Structure 1
Amino acid sequence: MIDSIDRPLPDAPRGNWVDRYAPQAWRPYLRLARMDRPIGWWLLLLPCWWSAALAAGALGRAGPDLWQLALFMIGAIAMRGAGSTYNDIVDRDLDAKVARTRHRPLPSGQVTPRQALVLLIALCLVGLAVLLQFNGFAIMVGVASLVIVAIYPFMKRVTSMPQLVLGLAFAWGGLMGWAALAGRLDPPAFFIYGAAIAWTVGYDTIYALQDIEDDPIAGIKSSARLFGAHARLGIGLCFALAVLLALAAIVLAHAGALAYVGLAAFTAHLGWQIWRIRRGDEAGALMLFQSNRDAGLLLFAGLTLDAILRHL
């Protein structure tokens, strides 16, 4: 579609670097990999960082390993791009039926499926190069996540809770951060993973509120449609479970006061989101969804500062 060749996507931040600085020929590929929407890789990254910081405190380290944090960031950017590209290849026909997604590079014809596949392979190779920097156990844990990633795009066709499958994939860093530092998985890692799953279901339900009118037309199922008029309650229960599981992880890791301060700040942010939810407010739903980067960083800051303080 000629009129959508260089059209910024509706959920991309205004004035993002792709729309402002990237060569025009590159923009469809960068948009396909969601490089214009960094919130996706932030949300993939933060459970890695939570787990790494929690493990550092439990193992008596002076904070998480900075090199590992950097590797997690590079890996999250690459694998978020790969996952989004794969998702769009699978969903290109569905995306064409939804107002918010019909101008994405694949359904609008800016990128062909074959070109998207080449991009997918390149991004996966970057992710593999990052994964191979970790210990053998962490590599095995990372590879195991690919099964969930592979089935996720099909879940919106068969279940009313595709957000749960997304959570299983996006929260995987809750296991990776601990495995990378400890070379094993201990109970706190499983609880922080569970917390990240519940958090993901909550924030992605907020995201799905944007499409609640179009999804039935396209035959797309979502937790937002499942919760319906009780969306605020459903999201609130997800966020409450996330907080309780994070609390259990902190207790089992024998963390100190600053970890609890970080958790309190995280909880307050989630509570603010629940209070601000308004049915039919698509712009507000997108803003709340994107604000979860800050919520996750608050918890990470508390866990990191606690690990540093306990080592002094």
Structure 2
Amino acid sequence: MRHRRHIRIAPLLLVLALAFAVATPTAAGPYREYDIKFTGEAPPPLGASPGDPELINSIAWLMNNKLDLPFPAVTKAYVYVNEATLVDGLVTLGGEKSNEAWDRWRNASGVATRNGVFLRGDHMAWMHLQGRAGLLAHELAHVSQRKLGEGGKLRPAVWILEGHADWVKFQVRDMLGYRPYAESRQNVVRAVVGAATPIKLFPDLQTLSGTAGWTDWTRKLGAITTYCQAFLAVDWLIERYGSAKLAEFMGRFALESAPGENWTTAYPIPYRQFTDEFRARLEDLSRAMPPAAGGSLAASRPSCD
């Protein structure tokens, strides 16, 4: 399998050697900086109220050892005090363009870049444990995706990247004992069925392939029509062909193959056929499961929960 060719970080206990830096109100730096190092043989034990270092240790170990996801040998996590310092950090440390960072990321709780994971400490402070675990797993999944496609100029469709990141999030929560995967999936289905926007008006997966389309539709109709739909598509793709096949597909983007070749090499079903079949499956959900009373996700939420 393609992703196993990456250097595997031997049974991974993600020990965060913490360089604790206190930023002044005007400083661009984070107020917490974690230098992530991959060593050890067993996941660290978690108490009832784990701190961020302990939580991210366990999550990364599970992702590498149980989900077979690769990581760079060196990865940093930066935690910022507020919106302004996060955006500033994304420009100064994350390599983002200043004219795009504010518009794209000012409301984000976390962002994964080629230079590490950038997090809003003020958001994480009021998150419950499941929320913190979900945020960390989702962003670390994006770090792993970058590692899989390292060296390539192209990347998979955004719906695949975001759907996979939420698939990882729900798997990690299950393995940590916070919520069974099947329950998380059912919650997403109920959110889709009970959404204010009828499923027939959801954008199709092709529309959600690029960053611009993804961002526009998320802002226009909310996360249920994009993140939730993408998760269900990836969940079904993995159900049919396995998670290793998806990792192989994402790893092929490091090879600079011709557009479309990565999918046809990895999967026996044509891309258009899969997306069409998924659309029919999505529209059948309302007949298969009635919405839960009052159950929906906030339109501004960055990923399905």
TM-score after normalising by structure 1 = 0.31
Higher strand share: 2
Higher helix share: 1
